[in-house]
Chain A
Amino acid sequence: MAKKITYRIKIDTDAPLFQPNYPLRMSAPDGNEGVEMPSTSVTITGDNDQSLTSVKCTTSYQDLNSATIGGTTYGGKACWWYIKNAEPGGRHIPEGSTTTYHSASSGGSTSGPAAEGTITDIIIADDGAQVIARLAPGEWMWFCSGDNTKLQAKTATGSCKVEYMCFHMA
């Protein structure tokens, strides 16, 4: 039985917070807050797949895929990837530091939350250590790599976790 994975990418805005800055909004009617791209189903043809994996990265590159990417589909060495910087997204306040909110009742100062590990970017590179992506905390990427036997990851500073899945093409 063929192995398949279905993915959907949706790009929109949280209207109360971000309007009217949705990039495609100029061509959209009033009240349209985004575009949901079509759902796509991919048939995975390779023998090597990794389900959700979490690894701790440092400032040195480490390989993400356990088996070498090969095959001839889509020009060769093709592999679908989901990769995410596992640190919490959004604004961060390191533990112990404070920030001031505009609230007279609370006194205007609080701290946290503190993320586990270092709040840092994850750098993704190809098999030649050519950087192709930089994931800020919480950011993810979904794509089919090509012409590379592996992907590597490291942090910009300190250590933090990256989670990923990969599905090889034959």
Chain B
Amino acid sequence: MSYANWNGNKNFRATLTLESEGEHAIFGADTPIRKRTIIDCPYNGKVMQTGSMRLTGQGTKDNLALAALSGDNDRAYLYLFNTSVSTSNSTYVKVGLRAAHDTDSASGDWFATLPSFGQLFIPISDMQSVDLEVIGSSTPIVEYMLLQKDA
């Protein structure tokens, strides 16, 4: 394995497949949803994190980025996967933005929710970091990728 271009421009490919068909189809069995879309994602910023993190617990916001996202509009690719397999709709992970890396996000300032075994992929913007807070008594492990787009 070579890392000859580890400091150069990097890309990965992200594919989303959506299906809703059969008796459970959202718009009925005669109107199935089958959608597949692919993008190439360039990233070369200073923040390139992949890994997993066990969340502290309800009441504590865990900061995802080790350094502040920066560059043009603080853009980054964010992938999150809540590995919990709880079946409760009242157990989930709040996803909030941090306008400044070292400043806790304002109370209630969250924009996405991550249910058990839920995933998201967003080319985020205008935030220096991401806060994660679990709601419920569990402390799930969240797998993640945070890849800044610009240096």
User: Given the known A-B contacts A5-B18, A24-B145, A139-B39, are A133 and B24 also in contact in the complex, defined by CB atoms under 8 Å?
Assistant: no
CB neighbours (8 Å) of B119 from chain A are: 7, 9, 37, 40, 142
Q: Which of B11-43 contact A (CB under 8 A)?
A: 11-20, 23-27, 31, 33, 35, 37, 39-41, 43
User: Given the known A-B contacts A11-B12, A82-B35, A146-B111, are A141 and B18 also in contact in the complex, defined by CB atoms under 8 Å?
Assistant: no
Q: Dominant SS at the B interface? A: strand
| B24 and A14 within 8 A (CB) | no
B101 within 8 A of A: no
User: Whole-angstrom distance between the alpha carbons of A11 and B69 in the complex?
Assistant: 21
User: Given the known A-B contacts A1-B24, A6-B18, A144-B114, are A132 and B145 also in contact in the complex, defined by CB atoms under 8 Å?
Assistant: no
B98 within 8 A of A: no
CB neighbours (8 Å) of A10 from chain B are: 14-15, 17
In the assembled complex, the CB of B48 is this many whole angstroms from the nearest CB of chain A, namely 6
Chain A residue with the shortest CB-CB distance to B10: A21
| A7 and B18 within 8 A (CB) | yes
Q: How many chain B residues touch A (Cβ–Cβ < 8 Å)?
A: 65
In the assembled complex, the CB of B102 is this many whole angstroms from the nearest CB of chain A, namely 19
| B97 and A90 within 8 A (CB) | no
The number of chain A residues touching the other chain, given as a range, is 35 or more
| A8 and B35 within 8 A (CB) | no
CB neighbours (8 Å) of A97 from chain B are: none
A152 within 8 A of B: no
User: Given the known A-B contacts A13-B13, A51-B33, A140-B37, are A21 and B123 also in contact in the complex, defined by CB atoms under 8 Å?
Assistant: no
| A75 and B92 within 8 A (CB) | yes
In the assembled complex, the CB of A170 is this many whole angstroms from the nearest CB of chain B, namely 9
CB neighbours (8 Å) of A89 from chain B are: 39-40
A104 within 8 A of B: no
| B147 and A7 within 8 A (CB) | no
| B6 and A21 within 8 A (CB) | yes
B60 within 8 A of A: no
User: Given the known A-B contacts A5-B18, A82-B16, are A132 and B115 also in contact in the complex, defined by CB atoms under 8 Å?
Assistant: no
